[in-house]
Amino acid sequence: MSDITSDPKSMSKNAASPAVEHNAILGISAFYHDSAAAIIEDGEIVAAAHEERFTRKKHDSSFPVNAVQYVLDEAGMEGNRISAVAFYDKPYLKFERLLETYHAFAPKGLKSFLSAIPVWIKEKLFLKNMLYDELKKLGVQNPELMFPEHHLSHAASAFFPSPFKESAILTIDGVGEWATTTICSGQTNQIEILKELHFPHSVGLLYTAFTYYTGFRVNSGEYKMMGLAPYGNPDSEEKEFFKKKILDEIVDIRADGSILLNMEYFKFATDLTMTDDEKWETLFKIPRREQETKLGQSYMNMALAIQEVSEEIVLKLAETAKKLTRSRYLTMAGGVALNSVANGKLLKSGLFDDIWIQPASGDAGGAVGAALAAWHTGLGKPRTISSSKPDAMKGSLLGPEFSDKEIARAVKKYKPEYTHYKNFDELARFAAQKLDEGNVVGWFQGRMEYGPRALGCRSIMGDARNPDMQKKMNLKIKYREGFRPFAPSVLEEDIQEYFDMDRPSPYMLFVIPVQEKRREPLPDGYDELPIYKRLYHLRSDIPAITHIDYSARIQSVNKDTNPRYWQVINEFKKQTGYGLIVNTSFNVRGEPIVCTPDDAFRCFMRTEMDYLVMGNYLFDKTEQKETGSGIDWKEEFDLD
């Protein structure tokens, strides 16, 4: 692989710590974005959670004090039982990269230098002391600190929970310390780093630069651009013009998938922004779109162009991983591994017999990866693969859960009208009936999901057959851009009835075509229609989850992994003949997914959801407004 180095020395410890036997390891990611904590015991993932879910600050980067306290409580451990803590990257290596980058680009980057370096000098260079101080407050006294490299944490999060004894491992993100992409080989309980691509040449930063230029927020708007790409006209001259300019001027893609970025067009290495807007406008003939302004067809064509380029890079990297490892299996992590469209293309290529992707592939997942890397790679502990479970992530349902008693206590202050069902079967039938009638139902059950996707425990549900459901949920429930697609949750045993897929997809990480037998024909000139005329055209018998290119981001639901969610979908199937529903995360735009019953109830009352099911409790929005009981809903929840 061109312009790549290999360095097997990727795990370091706090040498001053005594040699002790560890059976529980705390993993932490923090101080960049999406802080999180995880705990493993005897190699088993016990609990994991994002800090943002507790603080209600989206992408919270602070030390995850609440997440750490939760995982300790969930594991039933006092802090003094934790003798080892793994942090998800190496701060000194990251500081080295910053200094060398500023030196290489000098005199450019002075403003960025003056912004970043004081923070490092005051705080981040003393990260060990910061960690000790924060952990001490939580009762974790003088643990041994371990610092796997950022991409080793990603690789460990991908390989060790996977169902494979061996696999190729591909990690792709913005940047860790130096690495932006790695190819590794996973064998039983060890990971060998084979190749690395180094900063500033980064697939993740390339994609993020276009996210920024098309008017979306860096580090959170990448999903939006991926959802926008299918609105691009694949046969248009403009899309081909954009793609040619990208390949001729912006990025050089080598045969092995490694890339070289033309840094004349980028500012992320030395400035506080992503692109040289003036040069991009000269190159692409359109200005950078300002956030929240109207979306023109040109930005849709640009999104499609960079999506196609990214897919080409990912496929070439996967081919190289295959050649280097000769493995039939692939595991993936890193922010780019959340590009479910590229993942679907890779799966369909048949390059590997099977692919497993870490559901928390971003930096939050580094907490689990760091702990697993410390356990297996650092301490050499054996790895057990269960033949009776699909993987070791437990459906990624690793967060807090709440009993009916706790739910009742949490909402008592609002004095709402409710119905409590002693028989959950009856409640599931009622919820399915209300979905069939066109209602939107909030669904709060069991343990909260770890990762960016709601997987049926903190979800909002709707009827996939309803042609108005996509519009209703975007504009009246989520309060987000109307063009964004929704995902289906489908009974695992029914997946081939609706989608061109022959295996489970439990984590909503593959975009796959809807079966041809379910599609409706498109009118002539469809690609030239305005965005919302294309969006609201009836494309299949499950229109609420069928994107404009006949695709869907699939979540299959396993009866054993998430029995209550499976049951409500199965009840819906009994009543309608359709074993799938719309699933979107239980939150509104700009907020994290709900964590507690209080979070869920307040979100329910602030939106136009019709019903909320929490545990065995049912809350009816119509009843709340009609009775006028308790507090003033309109004033308290800003219903205007």
Report the pLDDT value the prediction gives residue 623, as an integer from 0 to 100: 62
Report the pLDDT value the prediction gives residue 38, as an integer from 0 to 100: 98
CA torsion sign for 356, 360, 363, 367 is: negative
pLDDT one-digit tens code per residue, 39-78: 999 999 999 999 999 999 999 999 999 999 999 999 999 8
pLDDT one-digit tens code per residue, 334-345: 999 999 999 999
Percent of residues, the chain, with pLDDT higher than 90: 76
Report the pLDDT value the prediction gives residue 10, as an integer from 0 to 100: 54
Nearest of 230, 216, 211 to residue 534 by alpha carbon: 230
Rounded to the nearest 10 degrees, the angle between the axes of helix 237-245 and helix 277-284 is 130
Report the pLDDT value the prediction gives residue 262, as an integer from 0 to 100: 97
Rounded Cα distance, 366 and 34, in Å: 10
- Helical (H) or strand (E) element with 55: helix 52-55
Q: Is 242 helix (H, G, I), strand (E, B) or coil?
A: helix
Query: Across residues 134-140, what is the average pLDDT?
Result: 94
CA torsion sign for 614, 618, 621, 627 is: negative
pTM for the structure as a whole: 0.92
Rounded Cα distance, 596 and 55, in Å: 11
CA torsion sign for 595, 596, 600, 603 is: negative
Rounded Cα distance, 304 and 286, in Å: 15
Q: Residue 578 has which token pair?
A: 């359709």
Rounded Cα distance, 449 and 58, in Å: 15
pLDDT one-digit tens code per residue, 77-96: 988 889 899 999 988 787 67
More confident of the two residues 47 and 535? 47
pLDDT one-digit tens code per residue, 187-202: 999 999 999 999 999 9
Question: Torsion over CA of 581, 585, 587 and 592, rounded to 10 degrees?
Answer: 180
Query: Across residues 377-390, what is the average pLDDT?
Result: 91
Inter-residue contact 26 to 37 (CB < 8 Å): yes
Stretch among 121-135, 292-306, 539-553 having the lowest mean pLDDT: 121-135
Nearest of 207, 213, 241 to residue 226 by alpha carbon: 207
Which residues touch 257 (CB under 8 Å, ≥6 apart)?
1, 181, 313, 314, 315, 316, 317, 318, 319, 320
Rounded Cα distance, 571 and 428, in Å: 7
Rounded Cα distance, 181 and 195, in Å: 8
Query: Across residues 355-362, what is the average pLDDT?
Result: 98
Rounded Cα distance, 445 and 426, in Å: 16
Which residues touch 240 (CB under 8 Å, ≥6 apart)?
305
* Average pLDDT, rounded, for the chain: 91
Question: Is the pLDDT at 625 greater than 70, yes or no?
Answer: no
Measured between its terminal Cα atoms, the distance across the chain in Å is 57
Nearest of 396, 474, 528, 35 to residue 224 by alpha carbon: 474
Question: Is the pLDDT at 171 greater than 70, yes or no?
Answer: yes
Write the secondary structure of 368-383 as one string of H (helix), E (strand) and C (coil): HHHHHHHHHHHCCCCC
Rounded Cα distance, 474 and 577, in Å: 26
Question: Is the pLDDT at 123 greater than 70, yes or no?
Answer: no
Residue 70, CB-side half-sphere exposure with 13 Å CA sphere: 27
Query: Across residues 496-500, what is the average pLDDT?
Result: 98
Band (427; pLDDT cuts 50, 70, 90): very high
Report the pLDDT value the prediction gives residue 13, as an integer from 0 to 100: 61
Nearest of 626, 633, 620, 628 to residue 418 by alpha carbon: 620
Band (387; pLDDT cuts 50, 70, 90): confident
Query: Across residues 171-193, what is the average pLDDT?
Result: 95
Rounded Cα distance, 611 and 591, in Å: 20
Domain locations along the chain: 404-636
Parallel, antiparallel, or unpaired: how do β-strands 487-491 and 580-585 relate? antiparallel
Inter-residue contact 554 to 499 (CB < 8 Å): yes
Question: Is the pLDDT at 495 greater than 80, yes or no?
Answer: yes
Rounded Cα distance, 259 and 201, in Å: 6
Question: Is the pLDDT at 627 greater than 70, yes or no?
Answer: no
Residue 47's φ and ψ, nearest 5 degrees, are -160, 150
Q: How many helices (H) and strands (E) does the chain have?
A: 22, 23
Order of strands, sheet of 144-148, starting from the edge strand that comes earlier in the sequence: 11-13, 144-148, 84-87, 24-29, 36-41, 44-50
Question: Is the pLDDT at 132 greater than 70, yes or no?
Answer: yes
Inter-residue contact 420 to 614 (CB < 8 Å): no
Report the pLDDT value the prediction gives residue 6, as an integer from 0 to 100: 38
Question: Is the pLDDT at 632 greater than 60, yes or no?
Answer: no
CATH of domain 404-636: 3.90.870.20
Question: Is the pLDDT at 219 greater than 50, yes or no?
Answer: yes
Query: Across residues 135-151, what is the average pLDDT?
Result: 94
